[in-house]
Amino acid sequence: MNQIKNHGKKWLYWFVLGVAIIVVYKALDNFGDVMGSVQKFCDIITPFFAGIFISYLLYMPCRKIEQIYAKSKLKLVTKKARSLSILTVYLIIVILFVILINFILPVVFDSVVDLINNIQNYYEIAIQKYNHLPDDNILKGDMVNAMIQSMQDLDIKQYFQLERILEYILSAINAITSVFNLLVAVIVSVYILAERKQILNALKKLAEAVLKEKTYKSLGKYFNNSNEIFFKFIASQFLDAIIVGVLVTIAMSIMGIKYAPLLGFLIGLSNMIPCIGAIVATVIAAIITLITGGLSQAIWMLIVVIVLQQIDAHIINPKIIGQSLKISPLLVIFAIMVGGAYFGILGMFLSVPAIAVVRILIEDYVDYKIAMKKSVGILKTKEEIQGQIEIKEK
């Protein structure tokens, strides 16, 4: 009987292996069709992942507002606290979006249009100023001269035509998402926020059933820490970028700098990428100010922006983000470079909280190994003492 069972298992094994080989062969033989199906499936589920991401971003505000509604003396408000919190958060988002569309974007858009229309003139002015520099100036090296010479006949304006930029923006929007996908993502996020407790409980039960108790507890600990780090970083960087952008725009407007809204928006947005983003945006703003307003205005602009960035780095940002992401600037730069190289702008932005989570994992692992070595040392010491006692007794 056992021989028959073993014989049957052997044939079942070879049958499954043969089917697997045929499936792999057919998949490779029709690789284009398979990849097309995979791409189509990814396109279908993209709105669901977008909804999960939106709900993740809105989870903390919804929870805070729900706690406020739960303390209300009205029973109807207390009973519908979660639904009201979701409605409130989305109402705030709509209001902010209306303000952005009607008040902020038009000003920035006008600055972009004016800059595009005059960029060829600014380029020619920059070339003239460069030609008037002394021959022994450090900027008049062979490499710079070669670059300038190669750009002399370049019509820069053709790359910044408004129609072409609008086509790029529209095509990018259509490629990334559509109105239907956006609506699906919003609906999915609403359902996830409304049923987040049930979803989390189901995931916890599944993890507890599948994983060992020690692994389950460790996973829960690191999940909570990672979630806190990522959400706190994303929310705080976004708020900090708004504050910096507004302060820089006001300061530049007072100084009479041309394209102040555009430059302030650029510096604020770039400030979401720690260290490198602010530096790159400030250099670009300084170059534009140097061309449009002269050397003295560019120097004053640099001084004011650097002062504001220092205030942000030492006062505003620590108050917003707290002490949870205090990691070495060298490590931050390394994380941004690696994240940008593999995942672009999004990688540069998310690499900092990711490296913070990795740091926690490494620190816990090192502490665990040190504790294990100490416990082994203590055990050996106890064994040696017990052996010496036994020798003396003999």
Task: Pick the closest to residue 280 from 350, 355, 337 (CA basis).
Answer: 337
Distance in angstroms (rounded) separating the CA atoms of residues 54 and 347: 18
Give the per-residue pLDDT at 1: 52
Q: Which of 372, 111, 101 is nearest to 261 (CA)?
A: 111
Q: What is the CA radius of gyration of the chain?
A: 30
pLDDT given for residue 86 in this prediction: 92
Tokens of 247: 């302060």
pLDDT digits (tens, 9 = 90+) for 279-319: 888 988 998 888 888 889 999 999 999 999 888 877 777 77
Q: Are 228 and 363 in contact (CB under 8 A)?
A: no
The domain ranges of the chain are: 327-394
- At 305 the pLDDT is 92
- For 255, counting Cβ atoms within 10 Å of its Cβ (0-12 exposed, 13-18 middle, 19+ buried), the class is middle
In this structure, the dihedral spanned by the alpha carbons of residues 43, 47, 52 and 54, taken in order and rounded to 10 degrees, is 130
| Sign, CA torsion 224/227/230/235 | negative
Query: Residue 267: CB partners within 8 Å, gap ≥ 6?
Result: 244, 245, 248, 278, 281, 282, 285, 305
Q: Which residue type does 299 have?
A: I
How far is the C-alpha of 284 from the C-alpha of 350, rounded, in Å?
23
Q: What is the pLDDT of residues 79-124, one digit of tens each?
A: 889 999 999 999 999 998 888 888 888 888 888 778 878 877 877 7
Nearest to 175 by CA among 25, 7, 337, 43: 43
pLDDT at 354: 83
The pLDDT value given to residue 90: 93
* Positions in the chain short of pLDDT 50: none
